[in-house]
Amino acid sequence: MTFRIAPLDEALAKEVRTTLRSPGYGHPAWTDVPSSPAPCRVCLHPILPGEERLIGFTYDAFSGLEDLPLPGPVFVHERDCTPYRDTARFPPLLGNSGVVLDAYRRGRRLLIERRAAKPEIETALGELLGRPEVDYVHVRSATAGCYLCTALPAQSR
């Protein structure tokens, strides 16, 4: 089973950069210069500590997939960035300290939670999305627990 990585929508990030408000919630967004690498959810590259600015805001990773929200904080570059395009492979600059893969069935039903180290992330995603009962996987940081991106079966749109 192959997969497709779905980064945060570029239009949503542009809206946050323009309004400095969380989409769907209206909560204030904040800007900062990170002291450690923070992953941008659009380009899926680190926001460089001490060099670049981030915008943090409340985001519902289930938006568009499920009715019941589960919001949490995410970051994007303050500047425009190019969305992650190599969606058939796991972003090489993410997951250096491992990830947690939350495999869901429609209805936001968590089926499997699996920790994966860097060399096995792609294999683990393929295995999880190869199970007929799994509809999508949320990829989360193994250190902070925050949402990074969604993995879907390759043929889904």
Q: Please report the pLDDT score of residue 157 as a whole number.
A: 58
Q: Please report the pLDDT score of residue 65 as a whole number.
A: 85
Nearest to residue 101, comparing CAs of 71, 73, 134?
Answer: 134
Q: Give the chain's residues under pLDDT 70.
A: 1, 157
Nearest to residue 41, comparing CAs of 55, 31, 51?
Answer: 55
Q: Please report the pLDDT score of residue 156 as a whole number.
A: 72
Which element (helix H / strand E) includes 15? helix 10-19
Q: Would the pTM of this model clear 0.75, i.e. be above it?
A: yes
- Residues with Cβ within 8 Å of 151's Cβ and at least 6 positions away in sequence, in order, are 3, 4, 5, 6, 101, 125, 128, 129, 136, 137, 139
Q: Please report the pLDDT score of residue 64 as a whole number.
A: 85
Q: Please report the pLDDT score of residue 18 as a whole number.
A: 97
Q: Are 108 and 137 in contact (CB under 8 A)?
A: no
- Which tokens go with 141? 């940081």
Spatial separation of the C-alpha atoms in residues 86 and 18, rounded to whole Å:
27
Which element (helix H / strand E) includes 55? strand 54-60
Q: Please report the pLDDT score of residue 30 as a whole number.
A: 97
CA angle 28–32–34, rounded 5-degree value: 135
Spatial separation of the C-alpha atoms in residues 25 and 71, rounded to whole Å:
9
When the pLDDT of each residue in the chain is averaged and rounded to a whole number, the result is 95
